[in-house]
Amino acid sequence: MPLQFFNTLTRAKEEFRPLIPGQVRMYTCGPTVYNFAHIGNFRAYIFEDLLRRFLKYKGFKVTQVMNLTDIDDKIIKGTIELKVSLSDFTSPFKKKFFQDLDTLGIERAELYPEATAHIPEMVEIVKKLLAKGLAYEIDGNYYYSIIKFPSYGKLAHIDITGLKAGARVAADEYEKESVSDFALWKAWDERDGDVYWETELGKGRPGWHLECSAMSMKYLGETFDIHTGGVDNIFPHHENEIAQSEGALGRKFVNYWLHCEHLIVEGRKMSKSLGNFYTLDDILEKGYPPVAVRSVLLSTQYRQQLNFTFEGLDAAREGLKRFNDFYRNLRDYGGGESSGEADDFIKKLLTDFENALDDDLNISPALGALFDFIRDINRLKAEGKLSADERVRALQAVEKINTVLNFLIKDWASPRQDSQIDAMIAARADAKKRRDYPAADKIRAQLLEMGIILEDTPTGTKWKRKL
């Protein structure tokens, strides 16, 4: 099966063909750094991580750009409230964002350009739009005239004649030619404090959509392969990016638009007022391992709404224990007499896993293939029908799959040097030899208190960390 993605532009699954064979250039909408990201945000970043990792798995060279929006209304408001500079306000959020990416095992993009570092590029686009008659200026504000861009609405499938002034249109934008026109550049006023840039367009700051047009074309070229974001970005953000980029350059902006659905919590929209609003730290403070959060956010296909529940998080943790136990136990396995079945299981795993993800990143059957494999190989092991050579090939297959999933926990289980743990295990072995089981069980209980779980095997006692 060829790799297929559901393209928001055409509302259909399409075979993926990058502009340059073997290379993928993609732009993934990043955070606005005005507060800490919530788990809904991370659902999007995890989806993008899956996309990126699977493309690499398929052998593509990936160039991913993720923007950091470090200038917008909320950020300006924050700088004024806290009486700090723009960069002093945003830098802690930027730092925390990258920490959280690491915590969730999200692979870094090639580039994280910041909006504030690309003001000249944005000004250039506005100048091009002005020259083409697609933009106009009123009192230092520059707007895009969407009526001059006939295909406006093609991504969101919105008929612009149906767009009407809504309650959410700010009162200070009354001077626009049309209420649906959007701001490219906003003139400075006193509410902006000392946040402004002196440019050919005057003293002011960029509109929200402009940065993505400017930075994507700078780093990925005027036309590139994939652009992603949450479904809420389809309109107006991505629609406006298309208008800006295609209007300024007169050529197609992006070939494949992928949007991930939102996450809801316990069947309800996540909101602060419902008390079901969670940042990553909120979840981790409850004692869940980060990889369980990764698993929950990854395990529902990206175009399905994801219902985040703590019951689901518990289930994810148990499933990860099984996967990590499987991997560790397979690594420690000595080998037996081959029944000839293992290579068929390996082949089936790799085929089914790849076929599932080829189909618009359909993760559920891919995970189904993995758990089938775990059961099949464990059965062969239990029956002594897995050879040492087959064991190596099975491990390689699992490791290959883990380059996409990233579910294996490093340094989770023995063997590893830890004098205290090793001494306690030795003391317990002594007690067991004397058949002093109460003493042995006491040591085991002490280790459990320390978060260490023991497993007695024919080749000795192994230990692992409690997940």
Going by C-beta distance under 8 Å and a sequence separation of 6 or more, which residues neighbour residue 200?
Answer: 123, 127
| Cβ at position 313, least distance to RNA in Å | 9
Candidate residues 235, 288, 338, 400; the one interacting with RNA per rule CB under 7 A:
235
Q: Considering the complex, state which of residue 20 and residue 172 has its C-beta at the smaller distance from RNA.
A: 172
| Cβ at position 396, least distance to RNA in Å | 20
Candidate residues 66, 68, 134, 156; the one interacting with RNA per rule CB under 7 A:
156
Phi, psi (deg, nearest 5) at residue 27: -120, 125
Instruction: Name the nearest CA neighbour of 196 among 154, 140, 149.
Output: 140
Provide the 3-class DSSP secondary structure of residue 431: helix
**Which run of H or E residues covers position 14?**
strand 12-15
| Cβ at position 456, least distance to RNA in Å | 4
CA-CA distance, 189 to 196, in Å (whole number)?
9
Candidate residues 236, 248, 394, 407; the one interacting with RNA per rule CB under 7 A:
236
Q: Considering the complex, state which of residue 105 and residue 319 has its C-beta at the smaller distance from RNA.
A: 319
Q: 359 - beta bridge partners? A: 4
Sites for RNA among residues 305-334 (CB under 7 A): 305-307, 309, 311-312, 314-315, 318-319, 321-322, 325-326, 329
**Which run of H or E residues covers position 399?**
helix 388-405
| Cβ at position 61, least distance to RNA in Å | 25
| Cβ at position 352, least distance to RNA in Å | 9
Residues binding RNA: number (CB under 7 A)? 90
Phi, psi (deg, nearest 5) at residue 14: -130, 145
Buried b (16+ CB within 10 A) or exposed e, 228-259: bbbeebbebbbbbbbbbbbbbbeeebbbbbbb
Q: Are 379 and 388 in contact (CB under 8 A)?
A: no
Per-residue contact flags (x/-) with RNA for residues 25 to 54, judged by CB under 7 A: ----x-xx-------xx-xx----------
Q: Considering the complex, state which of residue 232 and residue 343 has its C-beta at the smaller distance from RNA.
A: 232
CA-CA distance, 300 to 163, in Å (whole number)?
33
Candidate residues 1, 138, 169, 450; the one interacting with RNA per rule CB under 7 A:
169
Q: Considering the complex, state which of residue 65 and residue 146 has its C-beta at the smaller distance from RNA.
A: 146
Candidate residues 379, 392, 420, 423; the one interacting with RNA per rule CB under 7 A:
379
Q: Considering the complex, state which of residue 3 and residue 374 has its C-beta at the smaller distance from RNA.
A: 374
CA-CA distance, 380 to 391, in Å (whole number)?
10
Residue 335 within binding range of RNA, rule CB under 7 A: no
**Angle at CA of residue 228, ends 357 and 3, nearest 5°:** 25
CA-CA distance, 380 to 357, in Å (whole number)?
27
Candidate residues 269, 286, 331, 347; the one interacting with RNA per rule CB under 7 A:
269
Residue 233 within binding range of RNA, rule CB under 7 A: yes
Sites for RNA among residues 425-454 (CB under 7 A): 432, 437, 440-441, 444, 453-454
Sites for RNA among residues 69-108 (CB under 7 A): 72-74
Q: Exposed (0-12), middle (13-18) or buried (19+): which is 459, by Cβ within 10 Å? A: exposed
| Cβ at position 167, least distance to RNA in Å | 8
Q: What is the CA radius of gyration of the chain?
A: 27
Instruction: Name the nearest CA neighbour of 92 among 44, 39, 34, 42.
Output: 34
Q: What sign for the dihedral angle of Cα 229, 235, 302, 225?
A: negative
| Cβ at position 210, least distance to RNA in Å | 10
Sites for RNA among residues 385-424 (CB under 7 A): none
Q: Considering the complex, state which of residue 13 and residue 61 has its C-beta at the smaller distance from RNA.
A: 13
Residue 262 within binding range of RNA, rule CB under 7 A: yes
Sites for RNA among residues 118-147 (CB under 7 A): 146
| Cβ at position 55, least distance to RNA in Å | 19
CA-CA distance, 167 to 205, in Å (whole number)?
24
Candidate residues 26, 75, 86, 183; the one interacting with RNA per rule CB under 7 A:
183
Sites for RNA among residues 348-377 (CB under 7 A): 359, 362, 364-365, 367-368, 371-372, 374-375
Candidate residues 135, 260, 409, 413; the one interacting with RNA per rule CB under 7 A:
260
